[in-house]
Amino acid sequence: MNLFLETLIGGLLAGTMYSLVAIGFVLIYKASGVFNFAQGSILLFAALTFVTLLEKGLPFVAALAVTIAILILGAIVIERTVLRPLANRSPMTLFMATLGLSYVVEGAAQGIMGAQVHALDLGIEDVPIFLGDVLISQFDLVAATTAVALALILALLFNNTRIGISLRAVADDTRAALSVGINLNRIWQIVWAVAGIVGLVAGMLWGARQGIQFSLSLVVLKALPVLIIGGFTSIGGAIAGGLIVGAAENLAETYVGPYIGGGITPWFPYFLAIAFLYIRPAGLFGERALERV
């Protein structure tokens, strides 16, 4: 029973790390209907910039502030050079543009800051806490708290600020939002900047665990099943999806893995996502698309 509880709790906490990555996708999808393939590269770029600045001797807060400033600048550049020229094109065109963008961002990150592995110490001890006989990771607890805090901040931003309401209007009906004078270009800049900052937070936490290096951009592979299960348009869905994926893959690896050769964590969440697609194609919290035909 202890093993089951420990696996379940550990899985739920690990799942929030996946949610953090998924939230970045949700933000951009909500605002533009585009699946941003470049989110992983942006996450890598953000974390690599932050750690490079730290290594150059900048204090933690200054490095964070400069990185955020660079991400905001990057969002403006992306909007002007990639998104604006492709406005009113099909979602597939925009998706392909983000695919190309991911290579540019990855290349720029490694070209400017090098390909070497960097250690990142956030001062969070990765030592276990015991609740009775159940082992819980202190690092995962901090990551989970961060994910929940981030989700709350974003919910406040969406519901209580003028920018947030404009963003929701664009997400609901872009043409109607334009007709009442909402500046779509500015909204895209804001949403890409916020997605970049979310990527930075995710990159810092994942980077503290595995080091900051190219493979950080691959953590987005964990976000895809989370998005399918939770829905592409809901931040709450991203949290729920992350919890489900984290718990399911941990339990599956522990109880099913030994009977089928083990190493099943990469594909099991996708198996689960396919099952969800049969039952709820829009995900648990996603918006169901209604189209007049």
Q: Is 55 in the site for another protein (CB under 8 A)?
A: no
Q: Which stretch binds another protein (CB under 8 A): 65-73, 116-124, 223-231, 236-244?
A: 116-124
CA distance 206 to 199: 10
Q: Is 30 in the site for another protein (CB under 8 A)?
A: no
CA distance 97 to 95: 5
Q: Is 57 in the site for another protein (CB under 8 A)?
A: no
Can you tell me which of 149, 215, 271, 277 binds another protein, judged by CB under 8 A?
215
Positions in 229-248 near another protein (CB under 8 A): none
What is the chain's length?
Answer: 293
Positions in 167-196 near another protein (CB under 8 A): none
Q: Which stretch binds another protein (CB under 8 A): 86-94, 106-114, 228-236, 283-291?
A: 106-114
Of 14 and 34, which has the nearer Cβ to another protein? 14
**Smallest distance from the beta carbon of 165 to another protein, in angstroms?**
37
CB-based contact 281:38 (threshold 8 Å): no
Q: Which long-range contacts (CB under 8 A, 24 or more apart) does 247-252 make?
A: 247/8, 247/11, 247/12, 247/15, 248/11, 248/272, 249/11, 250/7, 250/8, 250/10, 250/11, 250/14, 251/4, 251/7, 251/8, 251/11
Maximum Cα–Cα distance across the chain: 60
- Please count the residues of this chain forming the interface with another protein, following the rule CB under 8 A: 48
Q: Is 12 in the site for another protein (CB under 8 A)?
A: no
Q: Is 146 in the site for another protein (CB under 8 A)?
A: no
Q: Residue 225: helix, strand or coil by DSSP?
A: helix
CA distance 2 to 118: 36
Can you tell me which of 258, 275, 277, 281 binds another protein, judged by CB under 8 A?
258
Can you tell me which of 209, 223, 227, 241 binds another protein, judged by CB under 8 A?
209
Secondary structure tally for the chain: helices H, strands E: 11, 2
CA distance 237 to 215: 26
Q: Which residues bind another protein (CB under 8 A)?
A: 3, 6-7, 10-11, 14, 17, 106-107, 110, 114-121, 126-128, 135, 137, 139, 206, 209-215, 218-219, 222, 249-250, 253-254, 257-258, 261-267
